[in-house]
Amino acid sequence: MDRLAGMLKKVNQLDPVPVVIHKVLSLADDPEASLKDLVEVVERDPAITANLLKTVNSAYMGLPVKVDSVHQAVSMLGLQKVVEMVLSQNLSGNLNRPQKGYGLAKGDLWRQSLAVAMVARSLARQQDLMGLPAIYTAALLKDIGKVILHEFVADQVEAIQELVTEKGMSFVEAENDVLGMDHTTLGGIIAKQWQFSPHMIYMIENHHLTNQASRNDPATATLYLADMIAMMVDTGIGVDRLAYHVYQDVFNDFFPDKQQVKALMITYKSFQREIREFMEAV
């Protein structure tokens, strides 16, 4: 009980999500909203505007002219790209810390989260899913629970890994068995406190598909697949790499041709190069 209380207390110590993020997500998903509405929301926050323009004008973007406004940035890069940049820049604070219990150095979790978000966006487009900004954001925040739970995992990592090895549990199931909490459930609690939508909370809570019903939700299944692709490529990063169940039926639904998985793994590696340049520019 004391351990759970300690976890929940630490939720309040996380950097809060800027209000503008909720407004950007709401407008990006609203077909009735105009481009002008979204630009005005971003421009009302001087810090976010300054960070956006700094990145847009960096060598990473390689634009031929200097960009002086959010409207100009959207005109040159497109709405989706600007929305993703705003989300990525302003959700990075908590994720950029080291997560020693999971074997992640400073920047590892943010880098992985960005890559998974980019793969999830690509998959969602292929499946013609709605709500791309929400899926992208859920992918960025899917492991937010690790930011708190890593301290508790560090003390019990051998017991957790023993359950994975000897009883065939997934890492998230073993976390729950040993700690009475897992990073997906804690992530859902954080997302709820930050007032994200019910579906966003659901995606974060179920991104490992431990709840069988979640396999029937295309957006959550997309998040799971993007995460698994990342694990297949980054096999040496983090103590929980590949310590999760592979649901072959979900893979088969999305990838009837096995070559599609290999192609996506190659795409993931190209995203990694892009992300390194982006992180240097931010």
pLDDT at 235: 64
Give the dihedral of Cα atoms 227, 231, 234, 236; nearest 10 deg. 140
Say how far apart CA 91 and CA 147 lie, in whole Å. Answer: 13
> Which one, of 38, 107, 100, 128, lies nearest residue 279 by Cα?
107
Give the dihedral of Cα atoms 236, 241, 247, 252; nearest 10 deg. -30
Say how far apart CA 273 and CA 60 lie, in whole Å. Answer: 11
At 277, which amino acid appears? E
Phi and psi for 164 in degrees, rounded to 5?
-65, -45
- Within the chain, all domains assigned CATH 1.10.3210.10 are found at 2-13+94-281
- Angle among Cα 54, 58, 60 to the nearest 5 degrees reads 135
With beta carbons less than 8 A apart as the criterion, state whether 218 and 181 touch: no
pLDDT at 1: 54
Long-range pairs for 42-47: beta carbons < 8 A, 24 or more residues apart: 42/70, 42/82, 42/86, 43/69, 43/70, 44/20, 45/18, 45/20
Q: What is the mean pLDDT of each run of 10 residues along the chain (282 residues)?
A: 82 89 88 86 91 90 92 88 89 90 93 92 90 92 96 94 95 96 96 94 96 94 94 82 90 90 88 81 69
At 145, which amino acid appears? G
pTM summary value:
0.91
pLDDT at 282: 67
Both tokens assigned to 132: 């791309």
- Angle among Cα 98, 101, 103 to the nearest 5 degrees reads 65
Say how far apart CA 146 and CA 164 lie, in whole Å. Answer: 18
Distance of CA 53 to the CA centre of its chain: 23
Both tokens assigned to 68: 């002086």
Backbone Cα Rg of the chain = 19
User: Domain 2-13+94-281: what homologous superfamily?
Assistant: Hypothetical protein af1432 (1.10.3210.10)
pLDDT at 104: 94
Say how far apart CA 230 and CA 184 lie, in whole Å. Answer: 17
Torsion-angle region of 30 (φ positive above 0: left; ψ -120 to 50: alpha; else: beta): beta
Torsion-angle region of 246 (φ positive above 0: left; ψ -120 to 50: alpha; else: beta): beta
Say how far apart CA 259 and CA 277 lie, in whole Å. Answer: 28
- Angle among Cα 90, 145, 215 to the nearest 5 degrees reads 100
pLDDT at 234: 81
